[in-house]
Structure 1
Amino acid sequence: MNVLLVYAHPEPRSLNGSLRNFAVRRLEDAGHIVEVSDLYAMKWKAPLDADDSTKRSVDTPFNPSLDSKHAFENGLQTRDIALEQDKLRWADTLILQFPLWWFSMPAILKGWVERVYAYGFAYGVGEHSDARWGDRYGEGTLAGKRAMLIVTAGGWASHYGPRGINGPMDDILFPIQHGILYYPGFDVLPPFVIYRTSRIDEASFSTICESLGERLDKLSQTAPIPFRPQNAGAYDIPELTLRADVSPDRTGFAVHVASD
């Protein structure tokens, strides 16, 4: 299996750096081919802007979506963007590894998504009509591939529990898992989350690696999160709301995960 690990932490000697090294070794020892995009080491340009096209008219205002579409369709994307898109086409599985900073991914990783997910590559594909609203949420150019998050958090697990002060971790990660990953078609595996990172010693690190290794060993067998596909009948189109008879007593992020 081809695995792309997109890694976002500035310190290679950090917990994240050690976990990345372990993950790569474990995957390679199992016979997988691993490609790592180490965004800080690559000095990845985070902002999406007019410079992402190698040739554009300076007489027209910059339009993120339309400029992205034009560059993608006409081979005018900068080389760094095109190379990451090639990696995604190559990969059977994508792993995003990052520390949870201010309830989300580091800015450099968000910038990777914004620039690499070009119009026509990860969004804006398929028929848009009153009967179908594009190929997305379970369909799309990246359908058939798997994805998983490896996330570290400083807080206790209870802080991110169902009644924790920080909010449930599933809710915090929903925009990433459902939006960034499921939207263009990935089958999204449950995340691997490490809590209370400042208290991890050698013994607990060994235990974490054992658990992570088990998850990595089962990348191809683990059941994905059962997000509801957009175009399979559960949603009214073009309103894109769940039909009234689908989980009528539930609301919020969790309603988009099938439980029946």
Structure 2
Amino acid sequence: MTESAQQPQKNVLIVTAHPEPRSLNAAFSDFAAEHLTAAGHRVRTSDLYAMKWKAALDADDYPDHPADERLDVLDAAGRATAEGRLSADIAAEQEKLLWSDAVILQFPMWWFSVPGILKGWIDRVFTFGFAHGPGHPPPYSNGGLAGRRAMASVTLGAEEPSFSDRGVHGRLNDVLFPLHHGLFWFTGLAPLEPFAMYDVNKAPESRFADAKREYAHRLDRLFTDEPIGFRTLNGGDYDHDMRLRPDVETVGTGGLDLHLRPHS
């Protein structure tokens, strides 16, 4: 019996962003859905390319927005969210997020970020008034989606050492900081360490089998692993300008690690 099979039944949303249905990313998404379902969890998926997801945020996202009125995105999104007047595709994805206990984003790293279609899903779905803003606790730990977990599952063409502390690309967690901290943690999603498969362009079939075993282990611990230990905005570590107070820094720490809680 897997570790996850011993846990209470949970709801997991898997969002996939790859244009090829026979891709490695599609295979990881299918594997995760099957593994989690076999463990007793409920799974829903959003295959963005198969859905023909509209990536560009524009006035069509807010059907009641007057055509002759300047589009203030934050204001228009907030009003449409509050009034239940978002476009139907956005509303459907928001319902999935509210249903979920955990979210997995499955994607290839393109130009050190998520594919454009996934960025468009984020831009359009995480609206003001839904994932953050009025009526929600302060961001960075208690946003609109608090109580849920989130994990990035990413494939990379480069070899693993190049995404290390001395690697030319920088540490993977630093590259993913905008996702882990700026999206997940900002909106209250507890960010888990990412699952990554490197050097995928030259990977033989045997490496996928090994990666699936490793991924299964991570999926079994989706609801038990300790999240990345980011500091909270309202926990006293930051001043009124949202800058980390020098007196709470860990000696010898710098860069993005400043925003991690000290180890007890």
State TM-score, norm by structure 1: 0.94
Q: Deviations over 1:19-68 (max 9, x none)?
A: 11111110000001000000000000001111101111122111111111
Secondary structure of 1:235 counterpart = coil
- 1:169-188 counterparts in 2 under 5 A? 169-188=172-191
Secondary structure of 1:27 counterpart = helix
Residue 225 of structure 1 is matched in structure 2 by 228
Distance 2:115 2:162 in 1: 20
Residue 199 of structure 2 is matched in structure 1 by 196
Instruction: Note if 1:240 corresponds to 2:249.
Output: no
- 1:1-260 counterparts in 2 under 5 A? 1-126=10-135, 135-237=138-240, 239-247=241-249, 249=251, 250-260=253-263
Residue 130 of structure 1 is matched in structure 2 by none
| Structure 2 unaligned spans of 5+ | 1-9
What amino acid is the match of 1:39?
A: L
Same amino acid, percent of matched pairs: 45
Q: Is the 8 A contact 1:125 1:140 kept in 2?
A: no
Per-residue deviation at 1:201? 1.4
Q: Is the 8 A contact 2:158 2:199 kept in 1?
A: yes
Distance 1:66 1:137 in 2: 21
Distance 1:53 1:198 in 2: 40
Distance 1:248 1:202 in 2: 44
What amino acid is the match of 2:11?
A: N
Q: Deviations over 1:116-173 (max 9, x none)?
A: 011101122358xxxxxx6210001111101101000000001111011111111100
Distance 2:250 2:36 in 1: 42
Distance 2:84 2:98 in 1: 16
Deviates more, 1:50-59 or 1:100-109: 50-59
Distance 1:141 1:180 in 2: 11
| Structure 1 unaligned spans of 5+ | 128-133
Distance 2:85 2:135 in 1: 22
Secondary structure of 1:204 counterpart = helix
CA RMSD of aligned residues (A): 1.2
